[in-house]
Structure 1
Amino acid sequence: MLQRIQTVYLLIAAGISGGLIFVFELWQTDDAEKVFAADVPIVLAGFLLSVLLSLVGIMSYKNRKSQFVLGRLNIILNFILLGFFVYRSLNLSGETAVSEKGIGMLLPIVSIVFLALANKAIKKDEDLVKSVDRLR
């Protein structure tokens, strides 16, 4: 059933990971050059993998357990991206001019929030099905 609330949450997480990475910059270099996720191949691959996991999670709506596992993997992947951004921002301290961090570094946090909401709704559906099965 694609009309469940976790589908909306997963679509929002996919939209954040797939669309907003091209709108918001990750950071600016000391010569005021904006760096987007498309400029760093490993970051782009991480975000695109997050989109893929969200879309596969949406399409596996009949198997809620695998949908839940895909959501957890996606959360872990977004934590890895967030860790990379924190590492990158803390490693930029050796320069003489202070570089500006962009709002794009916060996109994994927003994505994690929506993925956690989706997993909560998936768990709620699974508990509801288990309670109905107990009554039979």
Structure 2
Amino acid sequence: MLQRIQTLYLLAAIIISAGLIFVFPLWENANGEPVYAQEQMIAFGMFLASAAMSLVSIFMFKNRKLQFVLGRLNIILNLFLLGVFVYWSLSLPGEMEISEKGIGMFLPIVSIVFLVLANKAIKKDEDLVKSVDRLR
């Protein structure tokens, strides 16, 4: 059943993780040039892994428990990505590499919000199915 609300939330997470990383820079270097996610292979790989997990999770609608677990793993991946960004921005001394942080560093937070909303809707569906099974 692809017409559920969690599909829209997961689709938004895919758009953020796979689409907006090409639009918003992660930061600007000391020369004022924007640095995008595809220039940092670790960040790029983690963004694409997050998008792939969300895409796989959309098509796991028959197995809600696995869909819920994939959502949680995706949240953990995005938290780890956010930690990498914090580490990069705080560990580099002075103005050497990251001069000004961009909005791209906050994309994992927005993705986490949509993934939490999707997991909440998946849990609600699972509870509804359990309540109907009790009535039988």
TM-score by length of 1: 0.96
In 2: Cα distance, 1:39 partner to 1:124 partner: 39
Q: State the 1:15 CA deviation.
A: 0.4
Q: State the 1:47 CA deviation.
A: 0.4
After superposition, the C-alpha distances for 1:8-55 in whole angstroms (9 at most, x for unaligned) are 000000000000000000011101121000000111000000010000
Structure 1's unaligned 5+ residue stretches are none
Q: What is the number of residues matched between the two proteins?
A: 136
Partner amino acid for 2:135? L
After superposition, the C-alpha distances for 1:66-115 in whole angstroms (9 at most, x for unaligned) are 00000001000000000000111112343379710000000000000000
Structure 2's unaligned 5+ residue stretches are none
TM-score by length of 2: 0.96
- Aligned-pair identity (%): 70
In 1: Cα distance, 2:91 partner to 2:24 partner: 21
Moved over 2 A (4+): 92-98
Q: What is the root-mean-square deviation in Å for CA atoms of aligned residues?
A: 1.3
